[in-house]
Structure 1
Amino acid sequence: MKLLPLLLVFFGVSLGEVGKISEDDDIELERQVKMMNRPPVKTFTTEEGDTIDCIDIDKQPSLQHPLLKNHKIQKEPTFQVTSFGRNLSRIKFVQFGLREPCPIGTVPILRVTKKDLIRARALPKMPSLAALRQDALQSNQHVISLVDNKIENIKYGAYGRASVYNISVASDQFSSHNIWIQTGPRDHVSMIVAGWMVSPQLYGDSLSRFFIYWTGNGYRDGCYDVLCPGFVLVNRGAPIRSPLRGSTYGGDQYEVSIHIEQDRETGNWWLIINYPPIKVGYWPKELFVNLQNGSLHVAWGGIGLAGSDGVCPPIGSGHKPDDDYTHATYFRTLQWVSEDQTYLPPSTEVGIWVDRSHVYDLKYHPHDRHLGYWMGYGGPGGYCRG
């Protein structure tokens, strides 16, 4: 596959530059758009202006991945999905998904355009936990995270409830809040990421949206959301990239629970949102070189992509954490999943990574009877180059 010219991979790419791609690149983009946009059973437009195509579940574009040629769709996980943590009066789950689901037997997929693909290629890859210093600084990403690195504990999943905020970022910045699951050296890392993000470059707007990212083999493959074959959707009412409602500083909190777990019978990695559980879909085991049998590392945190002017965006609420969970964005009820499906808190061997620009911070609270193991994180952003 031919790549776009180098000018498109820098952070200041604009949609006006679409016309500068070569004829061969344009043909390749047209091929990808045709592959990703399957004939719909039904099409509608959301209030936010997203075009949703309802695609036959067995004909969804994810199955075009060469490694999934003989893949049989798994409609339900074989493990039991339960709820974690206490529901507090000031905390509510965000509404996730469509107001009206797609017809039975179909799944909702946002229509892909060439501009979508170009915007996605302009973003840096999500940084590897194993090489945060190198990856993050080279791509101008600024990371704050809590990492469970106890490799004796093979982790078959991770869980956390993240508060969501609606924040403003510049056109060449993004602000993400997510769970990582990964194993392997950087050159062959297998990684799954899920959470919420504000990214004008990726989405063409400033809404807080649910996102996913994956790579199976050291960034040679994978993508954001479902902009390439790979992630298999099974829920007819829960498209990736769904807009999310934001919390109020010092007031009501709206959170999204993120549950990623490997099915021990099939090896597939399931994504489950909120409770009652919305089983969105899964990453097939065939995609991954190093996530065949659990993971060595899980982490919770956020990333701020600095703009071309060297200014980092706000992360979370735009406030640094204190001891009040209604002030900074939080991840609460932190859990990892053992082989026998026991849900356990982070080990004592956690590492805290806080970007050295001093525009963000992270405070970890090992236990709280209401919030469980939780962390507050984020900050206002600001000049962060150097």
Structure 2
Amino acid sequence: MTKLNIFRLVLIMVLSYLSDRANGRVNFKGVDEKLKQLNKPAVKTIQSEDGDIIDCVDIYKQPAFDHSVLKNHVIQMKPNFKLKEEKLDTTSFSSKLVVSQTWQKSGSCPDGTVPIRRIQRKDLLRVKSIGRFGRKPQEIVSKSNTTNLKKGLYPSNNTTDVALPTIVNRSAANLVTLGYNYIGAKAEINVWNPNVAADDEFTTAQIWLKAGPGDNFESLETGWTVNPQLYGDRRTRLFAYWTKDSYKSTGCFDLTCSGFVHTNPDVALGAAIEPVSSEFGQQYHVTLGVYMVTLTSMALSHFSKIQTDNAINHYYEQMNMIGLLKRSTLVEWGGQVYSTNVKKTPHTKTAMGSGQFASGLFGNACFIQNPNIVDYSLSLKYPEWVGTWADDYYCYTAYNYQKSYGTLPIFYFGGPGQNPNCP
């Protein structure tokens, strides 16, 4: 082959590559513009041993302030009321609170700044659309059938089954409560590092605070996730999420768009949390919640907490989430797997929770303990009615286990995905 032909071949390959990036995925100009929008000037930069770069950003120059609704906004560091919490015996087993993130080994952020995980060029090059970077894929609702939510193991005042939509591209195993005037939810969520089979799939263990119809809900969410397409690895990471239209065109993970105001100098959204639980070994959990911060009718502010103190870690500030501003009607605790290969054969091997079924119980299955709701009594309390929901039950299961009378149930959930009963 002549040098001229080799040059032509290389040129064709380069042009084809650039065309693919521009038409099929992203172009480099768009990547650079998006990076400039996402990453704010750092007062200090911390290189984490896991490859993350944490920027300590002036608290008033974080991404949330790109939104016009936050012009002249004064950051709220503490809620203007204190929640009362019922102290009930849950269980006698030992689970330790996860109190560290990997990046903290390499430094800390100075006063007046907040840690923000830097979005790198490689992060944007993994996605199909820069415009949807940081967003969950839209839910695809089956029109042919629904999944019935049955009464759970906990004593109930409500015996009516509730029809929930079947989501084609997601599987869930959740504890659910329906009601009215919920202004918050909280739980201790067991931390694991489950397998994710494909780079474009993810698994979560989380809390959802929802309002609105099932196909167009508003939601505030927090928990842990393994999400290789978003984060570039398979580590277990803390996240927060919001949407105003059931993931169609609004919302995002963490601080990848305007929405959450971050206030905690010690916690970075999207950063890895450690340690994680091991089978029949030491168990670890995070304590997380989503609450209304103010009781005024003009503003909606929510925050998620990684520890049970009286400080706001980060909160959501938007004026047009009408349903959640009035009240939440649905709270869910549990796990979710996103894949285009759920509810079909072959099924994805992406796991939920610990990767073991709920029947494995403590030390084997992932658990959520002390799932509480908050209403206008401003008390954290176990819901009057709960039900369990597993819409792909040969692949992932849910079990609200009560050890004995007088103790609160522990909710177990999860599964391996593909297995002999879920081919």
TM-score, normalisation: structure 1:
0.84
Q: Structure 2 CA distance, aligned partners of 1:56 and 1:236?
A: 10
2:241–2:252 contact (8 Å) kept in structure 1: yes
* Counterparts of 1:159 and 1:378, CA distance in 2: 19
Structure-1 residue corresponding to 2:22: 21
Q: Which residue of 2 aligns with 1:304?
A: 337
2:243 matched to 1:215? Answer: yes
- Partner residue of 2:114 out of 71, 94, 107: 107
Q: Deviations over 1:43-100 (max 9, x none)?
A: 1111211001111001111110233234322122222267766695621001234344
Question: In structure 2, the residue corresponding to 1:290 is in which secondary structure?
Answer: helix
Secondary structure at 2:76's aligned position in 1? coil
Comparing 375-384 with 233-242, which one deviates more in the overlay?
A: 375-384
Q: CA 1:18/1:183 → structure 2, altered by over 3 Å: closer, same or farther?
A: farther
Q: Distance in 2 between matches of 1:310 and 1:215?
A: 28
- Determine the structure 1 residue equivalent to 2:14: none
Q: Return 76-85 or 170-179, whichever deviates more.
A: 76-85
Give, in whole Å, the separation in 1 of the partners of 2:339 and 2:224: 17
Give the CA deviation at 1:170: 1.8
Deviation digits for residues 130-149 of structure 1 (CA, Å, limit 9, x no counterpart): 99634x21xx2111111111
1:123-202 equivalences in 2 (<5 Å): 123-125=136-138, 133-134=165-166, 136-137=167-168, 140-150=169-179, 153-172=180-199, 173-186=201-214, 188-202=216-230
Contact 2:205 2:334 in 1 (8 A): yes
Alignment TM-score, normalising by the size of structure 2: 0.77
Does the C-alpha gap of structure 1 residues 302 and 131 become closer, same or farther in structure 2, counting only changes over 3 Å?
farther
- 8 A Cα contact 1:330 1:375, kept in partner: yes
Aligned equivalents of 1:192, 1:368: Cα separation in 2: 33
Once superposed, what is the RMSD of the aligned Cα atoms? 3.1
- Alpha-carbon spacing, 1:132–1:53, altered in 2? closer, same or farther (3 Å): farther
Give the C-alpha shift of residue 114 in structure 1.
4.3
Q: Structure 1 CA distance, aligned partners of 2:288 and 2:373?
A: 12
Task: Determine if contact 1:170/1:307 at 8 Å carries over to the other structure.
Answer: no
Q: Which of 90, 94, 101 is the aligned partner of 1:90?
A: 94
Larger Rg, first or second structure (1 or 2): 2
Q: How does 1:215-234 map to 2 (within 5 A)?
A: 215-218=243-246, 219-234=248-263
Unaligned 5+ segments in structure 1 are 1-15
SS in 1 for 2:35: helix
The answer to whether the 8 Å contact 2:64/2:259 transfers is yes
Whole-angstrom CA distance in 1 between matches of 2:291 and 2:417: 32
The structure-2 alpha-carbon separation of the partners of 1:167 and 1:385, relative to structure 1 and needing over 3 Å to count, comes to closer
* Counterpart position of 2:354: 317
Give matches, 1:67-82, under 5 Å: 67-80=69-82
The answer to whether the 8 A contact 2:202-2:228 is kept is yes
Structure 1 residues 96 and 123: alpha-carbon distance in aligned structure 2, compared to 1, 3 A threshold? same
> Corresponding residue for 1:41?
43
Deviation per CA, 1:194-239: give whole Å up to 9, x if none: 1111111121111111111111244321111211111110011100
Describe the SS at the equivalent of 1:261.
Answer: strand
Letter in 1 for 2:300: G
Equivalent position amino acid for 1:20 in 2: R
Q: CA deviation at 1:18?
A: 9.9
Tell me whether 1:270 sits opposite 2:306 in the alignment. no
Distance in 2 (CA, whole Å) between partners of 1:18 and 1:193 is 37
SS of equivalent residue, structure 1 residue 358: coil
Partner of 1:255: 285
**What is the letter of the counterpart of residue 321 of structure 2?**
F
Structure 2 residue ranges without an equivalent (≥5): 1-16, 128-132, 142-148, 150-161
Structure 1 counterpart of 2:316, which letter?
W
> Aligned pair count?
365
Q: 1:345 to 1:24 in 2, by over 3 A?
A: closer
Deviation at 1:241, TM superposition (A): 1.4
Contact 1:65 1:229 in 2 (8 A): yes
Contact 2:172–2:336 (Cα < 8 Å) also in 1: yes
1:362 corresponds in structure 2 to 398
Greater displacement, 300-309 / 177-186: 300-309
Q: Distance in 2 between matches of 1:112 and 1:132?
A: 36
Quote the Cα distance in structure 2 between the aligned partners of 1:75 and 1:233: 10
